Amino acid sequence: MDTTVPSKGIITHRHALHSNRRCRNRIRAGKAKSDIPIINLAPNWLFLPFVLLPRRQKYGHHTNSKMKLKIRTGFGYDVHQLQEGLDFWLGGIKIPHTHGALGHSDADVLIHVICDALLGAANMRDIGFHFSDKDPKYKGIDSKILLKEVVQLLAKEGYEIGNIDSTVCLQEPKVNPHIPTMKTCLAEVMGIPEEDISIKATTTEQLGFVGKKEGVAAYATVLIVKE
């Protein structure tokens, strides 16, 4: 029986099994050398990966262009000072509170970090670049309008939103009761399912400007996909 290894280094199941069986027979007959590689003593099933696994394409890339996806991640961070007597907008909804966030727009810190994360993922700068706080037309603007424009900017470049994960840092009021309504609102603005939006809330245990109720902070990470 032919026991030579095929060309180009391909080990077939037949050659692997025969080589393994031949090695064991030599050991039983006392003819094997002491330095026989340990792989030759392995059971036959260890050679199955050589048969079952497909050959990897060059550099590990798929040759089918339909399988190629561009996946990018983005991160956003923002803070706003809290001031008595202002409306408090967060996640696209108005939350009853004695203090509100101070800013050029409606100062919705959650929407702002989502905008920054989306723009950053697409390498399209940040929210201040597209909607300058020096431009009077953005004075007091609803941040949901800005978010919708950001989503449209990404769509023009062929990107779709995969998912969003965000955290709001606020000492008071409590944010958790309002999260379902926020998710519904943001999902409608961005045109994505609510299940693709995660909103979490935490305090800073009375530490820093958040703990002293002087401000609100938020973080967001996003994933965007382009075929």
Residue list, annotated binding site = 78-80, 104-105, 112, 126-128, 131-135, 202-205, 209, 212
In angstroms, the Cα distances linking 139 to 35, 64, 116, 142, 146 are 81, 49, 19, 9, 12
Q: Where are the alpha helices (DSSP H) in 5-91?
A: 13-28, 48-52
Residues with Cβ within 8 Å of 47's Cβ and at least 6 positions away in sequence, in order, are 11, 13, 16, 17, 20
Annotated binding site for a divalent metal cation: 78, 80, 112
Question: Residue 78 is inside which H or E element, if any?
Answer: strand 70-84
Which is it for strands 88-90 and 93-95: parallel, antiparallel or unpaired?
Answer: antiparallel
Q: Are 115 and 221 a contacting pair, CB within 8 Å?
A: no
Candidates 178, 181, 185, 224; CA nearest to 201 is 178
Residue 12 neighbours by CB distance under 10 Å: 13
Q: Are 99 and 82 a contacting pair, CB within 8 Å?
A: yes
